[in-house]
């Protein structure tokens, strides 16, 4: 093991095609991989948009190398592995990924968690996302039912060596025809069903509008000018299948992230199971399909011909907004795009739009098969909708709630520990239409019995439900102009103290000229050095923290949430304040550069702030700083609740408080809410505190100043830069 202690090392081989199209892919991936707390992480970005034998070490931990697009991501993966070997950077575990890993959403990345994926498992097994057509396909001499996506795959070093080159050599002459009109040879070593699916997935040619799977994100029309591209992409997909075939042939255990999540929820550690028991969990696709015939999980079908409107928009709505809600209650559920005439074993037919003329016939067929429908009931009387088993739904949470109820009606006895789905012999009963479920009444709330010991209770309300704190993007989009209207300086219950902010900018101006940090990762081998474009704490936030530390010269600073802000504070303490500040960081998941020690940082407490006694914060006096960069979520037992409700009341008069990612007087950024679906709410708690309490006053707000004091900001710092830091001062003495 090349890591330190019991923490292995990790190498990330990331293939980049279009940084502008997927700018969040690499930061998002590294953010979740950081949870595994590798002893050392090396990132090799293989730039397939700029091929060539070149390399550019941004830092010791981040290297850009020229791409190799001859076999798409597979030749690029080989290029990254070769570079690591040449530079003697062998790692214990490799993460192979492409920048398109977010093309179909990023909810699955949340399953990369130490409770789900641990180092003992990664020492011998591959982990990723599995796909299946539900029927056996053949490539060369291999039979294939389930395979692992190449967009994200975690693989032990020993397996990387056994597998060898990922760019499996393929003979175009044996696979493809002479013309795009007959793209495959009649005797091609690719089964006919796979040929049909490849054509439907990649191209619009010969498509009847009811392709078997959601279309590829870059679908194209097949013709003479695109035939070469088609062959190249088909070969890439075949290599994806063949990589799984080799892993299966080598006997490498392979697991789907979603399966591991359900196993972990049941209190099971796959790495601790015996070989026979562990094999039951290998090569499972959403629990629904295995490499050998097995029970299938709940199948939710969308038939594009059943609704009027654009199929792509409907698929996007179901995949991005409905399925993530369903998966929280039923990890085995899956969405399939198939013709309505081929309902087969479907649990429900989804209708994300008004019914088309063909849709009425499909509904009748669904009713004959005992398959309920979920969606729009336009054009139906209530009685007709009930006869056709149509459950009304338009919003994402309505779809999710109805689907979950249908699943629970049809499936009995399924649990992660049981591994098998036992189908009821009778069709699912139609769910009665009616208003959304309400919470328990005050008279009955205390009578509700808790779940049996060890059983995970089902959520009372799905994400997006009006009783849920999680947003419903569809509902917000209906009102987005009003929600994200231009904020005004006045007309608020909050006193932003604009003149005081202007005066503070003038007071800290002498320190601004010393802000001399590099823009990007330092070239020197100083992994702990602060740099400006870090994506976490930058712009006006970083400059003001740099200046305020010197302006206030506090005796004590407690940071709740450590990272780049801690690096900056430690450097100011070390370089400008002679180490006189007692700087303490509280961070349950510290990045390696903090855990390894930083000059100027006095203490790192690796624990949740809720586990730190309230009395610990009584050491802060006038001019000292409590710097908060929390989870940003107020909920039962959260750090935000603990800090706002228990720590802030005991702080002494004169303590300076910082809260990050507060954009008052504006809303949270629209991209965060609608694009990334962050359901943060800390800002609203802070706004309420400032609106109806005289306990705190505003010293400075990065978001406010960048909008309403852009002139003074530009004069002091020499550039326009925004941010989300809010600085407050306690005005009353803390209580006991």
Domain with CATH 3.90.550 in the chain: 9-166+251-279
pLDDT of residue 213: 45
* Residue 505 tokens, joined: 């900018």
| Residue 83: strand, helix, or coil | helix
Q: How far apart, in whole angstroms, are the C-alpha atoms of residue 333 and residue 326? A: 7
Closest CA to 387 of 399, 398, 401, 377: 377
Closest CA to 405 of 432, 381, 441, 425: 432
Report phi then psi at 380, rounded to 5.
Answer: -110, 145
Distance CA 224, CA 268 (A): 53
Contact 313, 394 (CB under 8 A): no
In this prediction, residue 5 carries a pLDDT of 46
Q: Which helix (H) or strand (E) holds 441?
A: none
Sequence-ordered list of residues with C-beta below 8 angstroms from that of 171, at least 6 positions apart, any chain = none
Task: Look up residue 687 and give its two tokens.
Answer: 């706004």
Q: Which residues of the chain have pLDDT under 50?
A: 1, 3-5, 206-213, 286-296, 411-449, 525-526
Q: Name the phi and psi angles at 260, rounded to 5.
A: -65, -35
What pLDDT score was predicted for residue 430? Answer: 29
Determine the topology of domain 9-166+251-279 in CATH: Spore Coat Polysaccharide Biosynthesis Protein SpsA; Chain A (3.90.550)
pLDDT at 285: 57
**pTM for the model:** 0.46
Q: Provide the pLDDT for residue 509.
A: 93
What percent of the chain is helix, strand and coil (3-state, nearest 5)? 35, 20, 45
> 3-state SS of 590-628?
CCHHHHCCCCCCCEEECCCHHHCCHHHHHHCCCCCEEEE
Residue 76 pLDDT: 94
- Give the tens place of pLDDT for each residue, 310-343: 777 788 788 777 887 787 667 667 788 877 556 6
Q: Residue 87 has what pLDDT?
A: 82
Per-residue pLDDT reduced to its tens digit, 217-264 = 678 889 999 999 999 999 999 999 999 989 988 999 999 887 787 777
Query: Nearest 10 degrees: CA dihedral of 205, 211, 214, 220?
Result: 0
Report long-range pairs for 166-171 (Cβ below 8 Å, ≥24 apart). 166/71, 166/74, 166/75, 166/77, 166/78, 166/239, 166/243, 167/70, 167/71, 167/74, 167/75, 167/77, 167/78, 167/239, 168/74, 168/238, 168/239, 168/242, 168/243, 168/246, 170/235, 170/238, 170/239
Helix or strand holding residue 507 (H, E): helix 498-512
Strand partners, 138: 143
pLDDT at 140: 85
Residues pairing with 152 in the sheet = 97
Architecture of domain 495-518+529-730 in this structure:
3-Layer(aba) Sandwich (3.40)
In whole angstroms, how far apart are CA 611 and each of 371, 545, 587? 50, 26, 11
- For the segment 80-139, what is each residue's pLDDT rounded down to a tens digit? 999 999 888 889 999 999 988 877 666 678 788 887 888 888 999 999 988 876 677 888
- What is the model's pLDDT at position 656? 97
Q: What are φ and ψ of residue 310, in 5° steps?
A: -85, 125
Contacts of 615 (CB under 8 A, 6+ apart): none
């Amino acid at each position: 093991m090349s890591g330190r202690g019991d923490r292995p090392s990790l190498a990330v081989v990331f293939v980049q095609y279009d940084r502008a199209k997927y700018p969040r892919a690499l930061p998002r991936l590294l953010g979740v991989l950081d949870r595994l707390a590798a002893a050392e992480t090396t990132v090799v970005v293989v730039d397939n948009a700029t091929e060539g034998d070149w390399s550019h070490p941004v830092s010791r931990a981040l290297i850009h190398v020229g791409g190799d697009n001859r076999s798409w991501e597979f030749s690029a993966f080989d290029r990254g592995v070769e570079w690591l070997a040449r530079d003697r950077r062998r790692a214990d575990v490799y993460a192979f990924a492409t920048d398109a890993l977010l093309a179909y959403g990023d909810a699955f990345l949340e399953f990369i968690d130490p409770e789900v994926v641990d180092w003992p498992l990664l020492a011998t097994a591959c982990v990723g996302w599995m796909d299946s057509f539900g029927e056996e396909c053949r490539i060369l001499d291999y039979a294939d039912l389930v395979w692992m996506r190449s967009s994200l795959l975690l693989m032990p070093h020993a397996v990387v060596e056994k597998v060898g080159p990922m760019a499996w050599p393929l003979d175009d002459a044996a696979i493809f025809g002479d013309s795009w009109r007959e793209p495959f040879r009649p005797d091609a070593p690719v089964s006919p069903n796979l040929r049909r699916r490849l054509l439907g997935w990649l191209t619009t040619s010969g498509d009847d509008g009811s392709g078997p799977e959601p279309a590829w994100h870059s679908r194209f029309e097949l013709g003479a000018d695109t035939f070469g591209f088609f062959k190249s992409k088909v070969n890439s997909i075949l290599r994806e299948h063949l990589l799984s075939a080799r892993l299966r042939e080598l006997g490498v255990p392979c697991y789907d992230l979603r399966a591991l999540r359900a196993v972990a929820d049941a209190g099971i550690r796959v790495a601790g199971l015996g070989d026979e028991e562990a094999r039951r969990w290998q090569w499972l696709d959403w629990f629904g399909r295995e490499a050998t015939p097995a029970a299938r999980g709940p199948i939710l079908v969308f038939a594009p011909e059943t609704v009027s409107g654009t199929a792509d928009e409907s698929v996007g709505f179901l995949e991005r907004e409905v399925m993530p809600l369903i998966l929280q209650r039923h990890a085995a559920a899956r969405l399939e795009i198939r013709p309505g005439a081929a309902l087969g074993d479907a649990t429900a037919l989804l209708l994300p739009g008004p019914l088309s003329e063909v849709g009425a016939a499909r509904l009748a067929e669904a009713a004959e098969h005992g398959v309920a429908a979920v969606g729009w009931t336009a054009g139906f009387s209530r009685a007709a909708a009930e006869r056709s088993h149509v459950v009304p739904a338009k919003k994402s949470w309505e779809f999710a709630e109805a689907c979950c109820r249908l699943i629970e009606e049809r499936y009995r006895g399924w649990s992660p520990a049981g591994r098998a789905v036992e189908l009821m012999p009778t069709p699912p009963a139609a769910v009665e239409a009616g208003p959304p479920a309400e919470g328990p009444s005050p008279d009955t709330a205390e009578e509700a019995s808790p779940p049996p010991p060890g059983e995970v209770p089902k959520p009372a309300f799905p994400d997006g439900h009006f009783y849920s704190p999680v947003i419903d993007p569809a509902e917000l989009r209906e009102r987005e102009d009003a929600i994200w209207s231009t904020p005004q300086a006045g007309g608020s219950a909050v006193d932003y103290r604009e003149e005081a902010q202007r005066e503070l900018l003038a007071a800290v101006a002498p320190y601004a000229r010393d802000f001399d940090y590099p823009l990007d990762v330092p070239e020197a081998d100083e992994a702990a050095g602060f740099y400006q474009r870090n994506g976490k704490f930058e712009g006006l936030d970083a400059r003001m923290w740099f200046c305020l530390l010197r302006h206030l010269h506090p005796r004590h600073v407690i940071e709740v949430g450590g990272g780049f802000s801690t690096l900056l504070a430690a450097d100011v303490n070390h370089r400008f304040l002679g180490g006189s500040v007692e700087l303490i960081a509280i961070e349950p998941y510290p990045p390696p550069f903090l855990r390894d020690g930083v000059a100027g940082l006095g203490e790192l407490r690796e624990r949740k702030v809720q586990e730190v006694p309230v009395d610990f914060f009584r050491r802060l006096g006038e001019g000292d700083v409590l710097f908060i960069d929390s989870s940003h979520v107020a909920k039962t037992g959260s750090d935000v609740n603990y800090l706002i409700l228990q720590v802030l009341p005991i702080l002494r008069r004169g303590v300076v408080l910082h809260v990050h990612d507060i954009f008052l007087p504006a809303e949270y950024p629209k991209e965060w809410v609608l694009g990334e679906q962050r359901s943060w709410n800390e800002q609203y708690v802070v706004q309420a505190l400032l609106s109806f309490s005289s306990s705190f006053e505003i010293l400075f707000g990065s978001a406010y100043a960048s909008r309403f004091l852009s002139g003074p900001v530009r004069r002091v710092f020499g550039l326009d830069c925004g941010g989300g830091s809010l600085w407050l001062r306690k005005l009353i003495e803390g209580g006991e």
